[in-house]
Amino acid sequence: MTEAVEVTRVVDQAHRESWSTVLASVVRLTRDLDLAEDCTQDAFVQALRTWPDGIPSNPGGWLTTVARRLALDRLRRETNLWRKLPLLVEEPGEVEQPTDPLRLVFTCCHPALARESQVALTLRLICGLTTREVAAVLLISESTAAARITRAKKKIAAAGIPYRIPADHELPKRLDVVLTVVHLVYTAGHVAAGSELTRTDLTGRAVELSRLLERLMPDEPEPQALLGLLLMTEARGDARVSADGELVLLADQDRSRWDAQLLAEGVSRATSALQRGHGRFALQAAVAGLHVTAPTWERTDWRQVVRMYDAMMVSWPTPIVALNRAAAHSLVPGADLDTVLDELDALSKEPALATYAYLPATRADVLTRLGRADEAADAYREAIELTANETERRFLTARLQARGAQS
């Protein structure tokens, strides 16, 4: 009999690594998102019940088999089986393939769906994120996230949206939202809610989807740019956490710990994308490239970083881009920090940033450099309150305590 703790650990790992693949396989069989999600969840429940008698050698394969069997059983019990029989016949020659999760992304990102619903549904289905986690990534309330997911599922069912990668002529109009979703998947894993700083299952899934997109659309610069951006960020992963598990900001990272191979590929892909276009992911990749190619943090070309954000504000004028621009502006040698603080105070009125911990954290840093210790302490307390990650909370708490010791 396998220990319950070990079973729970393996099931949790399988959920992180195999959720999207299992779900995509069941969707391919049923063409019904709600049914597929229910059966996938039930398969994981069965795993918790039966794996104490022996964990299978291929957990993902076991879960896929059980979830598909559950789906077939459910369909057979339906009184309207005669209408669903055609769905039980898979397309000729169709076999399990690595593009299945990408098919699911494109299904969720159909233009018939509202953009905000596309993003919420994909994060829920591809990542297996809870509704609360989806809300945290999108900076919206949990009830709003739930409503978006429900509406999207109903629309897919009512409109009969197909489960497939679109034809070549359909791809461009869906590309931007698909890229956005893949980037958000990475973001959800890069700073995860909970005790761990990073969820490598999510960051890894985003890189995998990004590679699939780049292969699917090799002539488009933005998939190349997104892949370059993610690889440069991944390359710095090991250096983000100290030996004792504490957060290390980019300014203080040991650059010798960066993955040189990932870094070289990321810079190469970003450079190629920038030579062919200046979309928002190309510009974000350019910012990442300026960081990783600078010999030190102090020698980063902050003026050029600000220019990249200025260009982003033209094509993608979001509050988060404005916040990143203000943070970069504060690091330009000789910058007027009072002007930066005014920019940050204006952003504090943006509803989209009301629960975004990085805004008060940035204000705290600028206030500290202005010598306004009491206001900086208040801003750190606000950031701590809003932070969902324990590693970041410890970092911010240490910063707050350091301000107290200095006053």
Average pLDDT, the chain: 89
| 120/100 Cα distance (integer angstroms) | 19
In this structure, are 238 and 284 located in the same domain? yes
What pLDDT, in 10s, does the model give residues 308-344?
999 999 989 999 999 999 999 999 999 999 999 999 9
| Complete DSSP assignment for 222-247 | HHHHHHHHHHHHHHTGGGGB-TTS-B
What pLDDT, in 10s, does the model give residues 118-140?
888 888 887 778 888 888 878 78
| 340/331 Cα distance (integer angstroms) | 10
Is 89's pLDDT higher than 60? no
Q: What are the angstrom distances between the C-alpha of 114 and each of 120, 148, 150, 174, 313?
A: 10, 9, 12, 12, 23
Asked whether residue 33 is domain-assigned, the answer is yes
Asked whether residue 263 is domain-assigned, the answer is yes
Question: Range of 366's domain?
Answer: 318-407
Q: What is the mean pLDDT of residues 351-356?
A: 92
Residue 247 forms beta bridges with which residues?
241
In this structure, are 323 and 354 located in the same domain? yes
Asked if 166 and 106 touch (Cβ cutoff 8 Å), the reply is yes
Range in 128-142, 232-246, 264-278 with the lowest mean pLDDT: 128-142
Q: Which of 226, 227, 206 is nearest to 105 (CA)?
A: 206
| 70/245 Cα distance (integer angstroms) | 42
In this structure, are 193 and 111 located in the same domain? yes
In this structure, are 27 and 117 located in the same domain? no
What pLDDT, in 10s, does the model give residues 167-209?
888 888 888 889 988 998 899 889 887 788 998 888 988 998 9
Q: Work out the number of other CB atoms within 10 angstroms of the CB of residue 259.
A: 17
Handedness of CA 95, 101, 102, 106 (dihedral sign): positive
Distance of CA 342 to the CA centre of its chain: 30
- Cα angle vertex 197, ends 196, 199, to 5°? 75
Asked whether residue 67 is domain-assigned, the answer is yes
Model confidence at 83, in pLDDT bands (50, 70, 90)? low
Taking the whole predicted model, whether its pTM rises above 0.85 is answered as no
Q: What is the mean pLDDT of residues 94-109?
A: 71
Instruction: Provide the domain count of the chain.
Output: 4
In this structure, are 46 and 132 located in the same domain? no
Q: H-type helices in 160-301, by residue range?
A: 171-190, 200-216, 221-235, 260-276, 280-293
The structure tokens listed for 5 are: 């703790």
Which residue, of 300, 331, 349, is where some domain finishes? 300
Residue listed under structure tokens 């919420």: 120
Is 346's pLDDT higher than 60? yes
In this structure, are 177 and 249 located in the same domain? no
